[in-house]
Amino acid sequence: MQKKPIIVANWKMQLGVTESMQWCMHNKQELAQLTQQATIVICPSFPMALVVGVEAVASGAFIGAQDCCAFEKGAHTGQVAAHMLAQVGCKYCIVGHSERRLFYRESDEEIAYKAIQVLVNGMIPILCVGETKEQLEKQQTFQVLERQLQVLAQKIGHIKEEFALIIAYEPVWAIGSGQTPTVQEIEKIADWILAFCKTTMPSCLAKVLYGGSVDESVAQSLSQIQQLDGLLVGGASLDFQKFKNLVSLFSKLPL
Residues marked active site are found at: 97, 170
Q: Which of 212, 246, 203, 207 is nearest to 226 (CA)?
A: 207
Contact in structure between 63 and 91 (CB atoms under 8 Å): yes
Q: Which of 126, 201 has the CB closer to ligand 13P?
A: 126
Residue 235 contacts ligand 13P per CB under 6 A: yes
Q: Give the integer Cα–Cα distance in Å for 113 and 123.
A: 14
Residue 213 contacts ligand 13P per CB under 6 A: yes
Among 7, 10, 39, 91, binds ligand 13P (CB under 6 A): 10
Residue 234 contacts ligand 13P per CB under 6 A: yes
Contact in structure between 6 and 34 (CB atoms under 8 Å): no
Please list every residue from 182 through 211 that binds ligand 13P, using CB under 6 A: 211
Residue 233 contacts ligand 13P per CB under 6 A: yes
Among 156, 232, 247, 249, binds ligand 13P (CB under 6 A): 232
Listed in order, strand segments (DSSP E) in 113-254 are: 124-129, 163-169, 204-211, 230-233
Residue 216 contacts ligand 13P per CB under 6 A: no
Site string (70-99) toward ligand 13P, x via CB under 6 A:
---------------------------x--
Q: Which of 86, 174 has the CB closer to ligand 13P?
A: 174
Helix H or strand E encompassing 52: helix 49-58
Residue 131 contacts ligand 13P per CB under 6 A: no
Q: H helices of 125-182, where? A: 133-137, 141-156
Contact in structure between 240 and 27 (CB atoms under 8 Å): yes
Q: Which of 29, 25, 11 is nearest to 54 (CA)?
A: 25
Query: In this chain, which stretch among 53-61, 147-155, 169-177, 190-198 interacts with ligand 13P, using CB under 6 A?
Result: 169-177
For 248, the 3-state DSSP assignment is helix
Residue 5 contacts ligand 13P per CB under 6 A: no
Residue 119 contacts ligand 13P per CB under 6 A: no
Contact in structure between 150 and 200 (CB atoms under 8 Å): yes
Q: Which of 118, 233 has the CB closer to ligand 13P?
A: 233
Residue ranges in contact with ligand 13P by CB under 6 A = 10, 97, 170, 175-176, 211-214, 232-236
